[in-house]
Amino acid sequence: MNPPGPLGVLEEKEEEHLSTPILGPSIHSDNPQERIQARRLRIAARLEARRREALGEYLDGKKESEEDQRKSYKQKEESRLKLAKLLLCGTELVTNIQVATDIREIHRRVEEEEIKRQRLEKLENEVKTSQDKFDEITAKWEVGKQKRIPQDLWDMLNTQQVHCAGLIEDKNKLISELQQELKIKDDQYVKDLKKQSDDICLLLERMEEQVKHVMKTFRQELNYIEKAFEIERQELLTSNKKKWERALQAHNAKELEYLMNRIKKAEDYEKQLNRQRMWDWEEYNMIKIKLEQDVQVLEQQLQQMKATYQLNQEKLEYNFQVLKKRDEESTVIKSQQKRKINRLHDTLNNLRSKYAKQIKQFQEENQSLTSDYKRLVMQFKELQKAMRHFALIDDKQFREIWLMNEEEAKDLISRAFDVDRIIHTHHLGLPWTAPDFWFLRNVGPISQQPQKSATQIVEEVLMQAEEEGTEEAASEAESYLDLPRQISPKTTRKILMLLCDESGFLVESKLLSLLLPLEKNECYLLRLDAIFSALGIESEDDLYKLVNFFLKYRVYHSPSSQEQTSLLSALEPGEQPDLEGQKEESLVEGEPEEKEAPPSPRLIHPNDVLKILEAFVMGLKKPRDSRAPVKLKYVRDNSKDSAYWEALTTVIPDTTQNLWDALYTALEKYHLILTQRAKLLIENNSLEQQNTELQMLLQKYLDSKINSELQVPPTQVFRVPTK
């Protein structure tokens, strides 16, 4: 498959060769302009041809072009093959001579070798034989030396001579043979030379022939190819010409059409142009007028601007002057400021030194103050001491005042009672009985009475336990009404006993030995005392706490006594309810029996006691530490005082007071009446006296002379009362 490329190019070339001479401007012309033109034409023609070729290819379709190609291509292929074959054959023909020479040479070599070998053999044989002969001769020389008889010697010499002659003859024969061979070789050399020249002649002949032949065939083939191309070109030309004519006709028709269109359009455009021109003229005028106006306005504005410019210039000059002055001022100020800064620096330094001094001073002051503080602390301690002292004194004074007041109150009460008794007996006539109240018997401040130490309580508890059988209710009602609120003294006692038994290690061994002879209760008491002192239980509350703790611990931990790890956690809530417990207590006070049933010390295992104690001590320590200073001074409870005093005021019950009030009112009324009566009596007396006086006065008036002088004597207007 040969592409259309080469075909086109070849065509071009042909066309080019054809066209260049016709067109006039030639590349080989002397005039450079002409040459340039020619080249340009050539390039244009080439481009045209390429374009045409491309177009033609597209238009013709493939089959036609292929066929066309095939004609030239086939021709080319054919001639190519033919020429290749020719060349091959020719070279073979020529090289055949070389090959023939080669093979001849090889044959010659083989023969030569053979001959050489034979010659060598021959020479060797010759050498051997001649050597033998020579040896024989030399051997005979030895024999000859021994011969004494001249005859013999002569004979022998003769024979020797003959032998030598024979030897030399042999050698000469060999030499002549070899020379013969050499001559033959020379002849052969001449022959070879001749042969070679013949060969060379033949070679030249063949080569020339070959060249001629090849030239001829090449020319022929070239002609064929050219013819093929010519035919093809003719065909292409005719077809293209047809196409061209057709295209030209179409082009002409179109051209005409375009011309008509163009004329029409030109007319249109002329009309439009005229219209446009008119319009533009008008517009131009309008714009001109407008622009002139604008120019005037702008000139005016320019004038204005100039004026303002002048004004501004003056202003600016003035400003400039002002600013200059200000600048001067500012330089003055600057220098002042600098001076000021210097001064301030000085002051700063002064202040710094002052500050250092002050620091020193304050340190000293601080020292003095600390010493003061120490002194004050000392003073405060002394003051505390004094305060304690005064507290004691205050207590005493309080007690004394209390006693005094109480005495006074009791005096008053007794007076009241006396008055009451008098009222009852004298006024009402009723029998009077003296009321009997607990507070009447009370002497001294109330709160001091219930404060007891733990040991005392224990003692009491123990004592109580002894008397338990006899006076159970009485004791409970009396002194222990408020102590172990929900815990019966029995349980308390049992817990304490248990504690006493289990924590013997807290008691000193010395004490134990001392306790041995004592009674059981006393023994317990002393031991508990020792234990409490060891545990740090001092007050009554602590004891209750301990007991409560025991009970609560049992409640929380009875099911699993093994859980000792959570003791502390159990304690924390155990502490809190201490305060809350009171509320609960107040709520549950109604039925204490219910609580009494479960707490039985039997259920507390003796082994747990130690753990409970440990937990308790751990829990107790904390509050202790914080409350320690506060608890030192026990603040007196004032709550009951008012009640006490209130009670003292209400010794006389309301009924009697009401009675008294009623009696008072009645007596008041009675008294009023009596006083009214007394008043009225006094009034009566006075009126009587007045009456008498007035009567006397009247008399006097009537008796006077004036009456008679009057026209109407008063005596006539009224009637003188007559008595």
Partner 1 sequence: MQETLATSTLLAPSRSSISTQERFSTAGQTSSTGPQPSRLSIIPPPSKSKGWNSGTKVRRMRRIIAEDPEWSLAIVPLLTELCIQHIVKNFQNNPILKQLLPEHQQKVLSHLSPELPLAVTANLIDDESYWRRCCLQRWPVCHVARHGGSWKRLFFERHLENLIKHFIPGTTDPAVLLDLLPLCRSYVRRLCVHQLLPPVQPPAPPRSGELSDSGSEGETEEPATDHYQLRDLVAGLSHLEELDLVYGVKDCGMNFEGNLFLFTYRDCHSLAATIKACHTLKIFRLTRSKVDDDKARILIRSLLDHPALEELDLSHNLIADRGARAAAKLLSHSRLRVLNLANNQVRAPGAQSLAHALAHNTNLISLNLRLNCIEDEGGQALAHALQTNKCLTTLHLGGNELSEPTATLLSQVLSVNTTLTSINLSCNHIGLDGGKQLLEGMLDNKTLLEFDLRLSDVAQESEYLIGQALCANREAARQRTLNPGHFMSPIVAKGPENPAR
Give me the residues that bind partner 1 (CB under 8 A), please: 2-3, 5-6, 8-10, 30, 76-77, 79-80, 83-84, 92, 96, 99-100, 102-103, 105-106, 109, 179, 182, 189-190, 193, 218, 221
CB-nearer residue toward partner 1: 3 or 469: 3
- 453 bridge partner residues: 539
Q: How far is the CB of 102 from partner 1 (least distance, A)?
A: 5
CB-nearer residue toward partner 1: 195 or 251: 195
Q: How far is the CB of 235 from partner 1 (least distance, A)?
A: 20
Q: What are phi and psi of 601, to 5 degrees?
A: -60, -15
CB-nearer residue toward partner 1: 183 or 339: 183
Tokens 């010390």 label which residue? 601
Q: How far is the CB of 77 from partner 1 (least distance, A)?
A: 8
Q: What is the rounded end-to-end Cα distance, in angstroms, of the chain?
A: 194
CB-nearer residue toward partner 1: 103 or 680: 103
Q: How far is the CB of 243 from partner 1 (least distance, A)?
A: 23
CB-nearer residue toward partner 1: 95 or 361: 95
Residues 6+ positions from 515 with CB-CB distance below 8 Å: 522, 523, 526, 527
CB-nearer residue toward partner 1: 82 or 636: 82
At residue 702's C-alpha, the angle toward residues 697 and 708, to 5°, is 150
Cα–Cα distance, 251 to 237 (Å, whole number): 20
CB-nearer residue toward partner 1: 103 or 305: 103
Helix (H, G, I), strand (E, B) or coil at 708: helix
Residues 6+ positions from 463 with CB-CB distance below 8 Å: 521
Helix (H, G, I), strand (E, B) or coil at 539: strand
CB-nearer residue toward partner 1: 202 or 506: 202
CB-nearer residue toward partner 1: 162 or 222: 222
Closest CA to 482 of 582, 599, 373: 582
Tokens 């004609």 label which residue? 71
Cα–Cα distance, 442 to 402 (Å, whole number): 11
Report how far apart, in Å, the C-alpha atoms of 475 and of each of 368, 460, 480, 648, 697 are. Answer: 64, 10, 7, 27, 93
Q: How far is the CB of 106 from partner 1 (least distance, A)?
A: 5
Q: How far is the CB of 255 from partner 1 (least distance, A)?
A: 35
CB-nearer residue toward partner 1: 190 or 697: 190
CB count, 10 Å around CB of 75? 19
Q: How far is the CB of 74 from partner 1 (least distance, A)?
A: 12
CB-nearer residue toward partner 1: 225 or 523: 225
Cα–Cα distance, 369 to 376 (Å, whole number): 10
The H-or-E segment that residue 143 falls in is helix 62-146
Cα–Cα distance, 281 to 287 (Å, whole number): 10
Closest CA to 616 of 579, 571, 577: 571
Q: How far is the CB of 195 from partner 1 (least distance, A)?
A: 14
CB-nearer residue toward partner 1: 92 or 693: 92
Amino acid at 180: Q
Q: How far is the CB of 100 from partner 1 (least distance, A)?
A: 8
Which tokens belong to 715?
A: 């005596």
CB-nearer residue toward partner 1: 76 or 493: 76
Tokens 């003095």 label which residue? 368
Taking a C-beta distance cutoff of 8 angstroms, is the pair 508, 617 a contact?
Answer: no
Cα–Cα distance, 536 to 231 (Å, whole number): 146
Q: How far is the CB of 285 from partner 1 (least distance, A)?
A: 58
Q: How far is the CB of 166 from partner 1 (least distance, A)?
A: 22
Cα 243 to chain centroid distance, Å, stands at 83
CB-nearer residue toward partner 1: 78 or 170: 78
CB-nearer residue toward partner 1: 47 or 193: 193
Residues 6+ positions from 714 with CB-CB distance below 8 Å: 707
Long-range contacts of 78-86 (CB under 8 A, 24+ apart): 79/221, 79/224, 79/225, 82/217, 82/221, 83/214, 83/217, 83/218, 83/221, 86/213, 86/214, 86/217
CB-nearer residue toward partner 1: 97 or 391: 97
Q: How far is the CB of 245 from partner 1 (least distance, A)?
A: 29
Q: How far is the CB of 31 from partner 1 (least distance, A)?
A: 10
- 539 bridge partner residues: 453
Q: How far is the CB of 268 from partner 1 (least distance, A)?
A: 50
CA atoms within 13 A on the CB side of 249: 5
Report how far apart, in Å, the C-alpha atoms of 275 and of each of 254, 280, 282, 284 are. Answer: 31, 8, 11, 14
Taking a C-beta distance cutoff of 8 angstroms, is the pair 619, 575 a contact?
Answer: yes
Q: How far is the CB of 9 from partner 1 (least distance, A)?
A: 5
Q: How far is the CB of 95 from partner 1 (least distance, A)?
A: 8
CB-nearer residue toward partner 1: 233 or 545: 233
Closest CA to 492 of 526, 519, 530, 454: 454
3-state helix, strand and coil shares in percent for the chain, rounded to the nearest 5 = 85, 0, 15
Q: How far is the CB of 207 from partner 1 (least distance, A)?
A: 15
